Amino acid sequence: MYDVTYEEILERMLARVSDKFDKREGSVIFDTHSPTAIELQLLYVELNTLIAEAYGDSASREFLIRRCKERGITPYEATKAILKGEFTPKNIDVTGQRFNISSFNFIVLEKIADGEYQVQCETPGIVGNQQLGTMIPIEYIEGLETAELTGVLIPGEDEEDTEDLRKRYFDSFNEKAFGGNVQDYLEKTNAIPGVGSTKVTRVWNGDIRPADMIPTAKVKTWYEGIIGTLDQEVALWLSNVYMAAAEKKLTTGGTVLLTILNSDYGVASDTLIQTVQNTIDPAENAGEGYGLAPIGHVVSVKSAKEVTVTLKTKITFDTGYSWSNLQNSIDTAVQDYLLELRKGWADTAYLVIRISQIETRLLSIKGIVDIENTKINGSTDNLTLGKYEVPVFGGASA
């Protein structure tokens, strides 16, 4: 906007000086105006920077964070990975003990089952997701035989990326999160450590009509005839359900399904699902407002399901290239494509794995000349997944 040069500024300044004075280079007037023009040019540069930092679409991270604070938004902080640790003998108690792998330390949080524990990486970020293998106790533990990290339960995350933060900033103007609407659930669920994306399904059992839950005359006759013959606990349950239905208190309007992926855009572990469930709407107090969900909303949390995608194709290689030396590049190209799809899963009704997209990516690999007869899971058609399904790579072959 203010792309003004030193020469332009100096020319304008000298033009305001009467021609009866010497304004040539080297004159007193020229030499006194020249340094001022340089400083003014620097001022224009700073003014350009100021304008850029004043708007959300062009602000650098430092100033974007300050803009976001005006909307009550702060960057998601880096979180620590929680992994599964397996210890022998299985009856040993290692709760609270600290272990080490390479340059990373871990602390045992709580017991999952005999010999299995939740273990937290003490270093925040995605680096904690990659540290599997044999652990060494930092202090001597009597009776300990082996200690292994075998899997990731809740992935650690790095601090929120600048562009993701910028998107949330603009989304705050376009979507109002309030009182259990879709945007409210998206924001609250995605903010839980370990969650990468969420698909919200309102009235997810909506094929059931509330009117169909009201007991008819035949149902009333059946109920009155059977209630006295039942076990006390069963009778109490049936009585509560019957009275709620008769008084039109049963409804599908407050049911919500949250389908999630972890922060690596993979299937969520049972531990992560349980964490989200307890945070949003604890199962033991479903619909009572003890979580982040409003009173009356019964929330279920599930993970998206994996669908294995295998690729078979005929590739013509350039001289000096073959499957053996390009296999890794081919696998990486397909995996990157499927990762792109998984990242966009929450915003898409149904993911479609397209043969044309795969072939385009493979043709960009140096050494591949042509591709034909590509099949996905044995079919020459594109693969359309279900609403709650995401693709994972199962391999590529000729």
pLDDT digits (tens, 9 = 90+) for 113-126: 999 999 999 999 99
Buried b (16+ CB within 10 A) or exposed e, 300-319: bbbbbeebebebbbebeeee
Q: How many CA atoms lie within 13 A of 278 on its CB side?
A: 6
Q: From CA 22, how far away is CA 36, in angstroms rounded? A: 18
What share of the chain in percent tops pLDDT 90?
A: 80
pLDDT at 248: 77
What H or E segment, with its residue span, contains residue 257? strand 255-262
Q: From CA 395, how far away is CA 197, in angstroms rounded? A: 25
Residue pointed to by tokens 């937290």: 120
Handedness of CA 318, 322, 325, 330 (dihedral sign): positive
**For the residues 359-376, what does the mean pLDDT come to?**
96
Dihedral pair phi/psi, residue 50, rounded to 5°: -60, -45
Residue pointed to by tokens 């880096």: 78
Q: Whole-structure pTM over 0.85, yes or no?
A: no
* DSSP conformational letter for 376: E
Q: What is the strand order of the sheet 133-134 is part of?
A: 133-134, 146-154, 82-88, 116-121, 104-113, 98-101, 136-137
Q: What is the pLDDT of residues 244-275, one digit of tens each?
A: 888 877 766 678 999 999 999 999 999 999 99
What pLDDT band is residue 2 in, cutting at 50, 70 and 90?
confident
pLDDT at 100: 96
Q: From CA 226, how far away is CA 222, in angstroms rounded? A: 6
What H or E segment, with its residue span, contains residue 370? strand 368-376
pLDDT at 57: 93
Structure tokens at 53: 């930092």
Q: How far is CA 328 from CA 144, 171, 174, 207, in A?
A: 40, 38, 42, 46
**For the residues 15-38, what does the mean pLDDT come to?**
91
What pLDDT band is residue 354 in, cutting at 50, 70 and 90?
very high
Q: What is the pLDDT of residues 71-120, one digit of tens each?
A: 999 999 999 999 999 999 999 999 999 999 999 999 999 999 999 999 99
- For the chain, what is the mean pLDDT? 93
Residue 61 has pLDDT above 90, yes or no: yes
Is residue 33 within 8 A of residue 10, CB to CB? The reply is: yes
Nearest alpha carbon to residue 320 among 259, 385, 366, 378: 366
